[in-house]
């Protein structure tokens, strides 16, 4: 995000709060409460509202996975990650997850990453609060958000291939 965009957002949004650090035990276990995640999601929702319709952030990275928070106000692009699985845990709202099929208008956006306009011929599943969905590496997928709703999920990006 460039300085002009940051300046505009700073006028539109409340002061950004640092996300509470995860509670970490002596054994290195991280913990984020639902309350902390939803508080942070409220801030991300404002960024999504005044931006592209989605916003997210990486909460922590680990050797073979990353913990992320994602907010969508609109349909997402079709995606394929050759090396990473996505594990979605729904915190708020609902969405349709399309998996399989083919990516329409597929474009390589980086090493092992493909994006496109939509997924054609995939299976549809509704995701609701409390649902957990695992999309293996290499599987096309897309999130569709109905109407004027928001969809908040905790996402684990898990390295399956090297």
Residues of the domain holding 79: 3-18+30-159
d(CA 73, CA 71): 7
* H-run or E-run covering 108: strand 107-110
pTM above 0.85, yes or no: no
Predicted pLDDT of residue 38: 95
Predicted pLDDT of residue 8: 46
Predicted pLDDT of residue 29: 83
What's the CATH number where 10 sits? 2.60.120.10
Predicted pLDDT of residue 15: 47
Q: Considering its fold, how many domains does the chain have in total?
A: 1
Please check whether residue 158 is in contact with residue 87, taking contact to mean a CB–CB distance below 8 angstroms: yes
d(CA 53, CA 31): 28
Please check whether residue 143 is in contact with residue 124, taking contact to mean a CB–CB distance below 8 angstroms: no
Is residue 42 a part of any domain in this protein? Answer: yes
Residues 36-81: tens digit of each pLDDT: 999 999 999 999 999 989 999 999 999 999 999 999 999 999 999 9
Of 54, 20, 51, residue with least CA distance to 36: 20
Cα distances (Å, whole numbers) of residue 11 to 7, 8, 44, 49, 108: 7, 5, 15, 14, 35
Is residue 61 a part of any domain in this protein? Answer: yes
List, for the chain, all residue ranges whose pLDDT scores fall below the cut of 70: 1-27
Is residue 132 a part of any domain in this protein? Answer: yes
Give the helix ranges, DSSP H, for the chain. Answer: 3-12, 34-49
């Amino acid at each position: 995000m460039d300085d002009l965009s940051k300046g505009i957002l700073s006028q539109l949004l409340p002061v950004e709060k640092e996300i509470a650090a995860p509670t970490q035990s002596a054994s290195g276990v991280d913990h984020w409460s639902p309350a902390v995640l939803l508080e942070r999601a409220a801030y991300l929702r404002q960024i999504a509202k005044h931006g592209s319709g989605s916003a997210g952030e990486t909460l922590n990275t680990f050797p073979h996975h990353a913990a992320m928070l994602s907010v969508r106000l609109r349909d997402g692009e079709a995606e394929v990650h050759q090396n990473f699985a996505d594990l979605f845990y729904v915190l708020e709202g609902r969405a349709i997850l399309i998996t399989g099929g083919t990516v329409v208008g597929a474009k390589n956006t980086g090493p092992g990453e493909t994006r496109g306009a939509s997924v054609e011929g995939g299976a549809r599943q509704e995701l609701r609060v409390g649902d957990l969905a695992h999309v293996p590496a290499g599987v096309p997928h897309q999130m569709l958000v109905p109407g004027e709703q928001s969809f908040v999920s905790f996402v684990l990006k898990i390295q399956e291939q090297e």
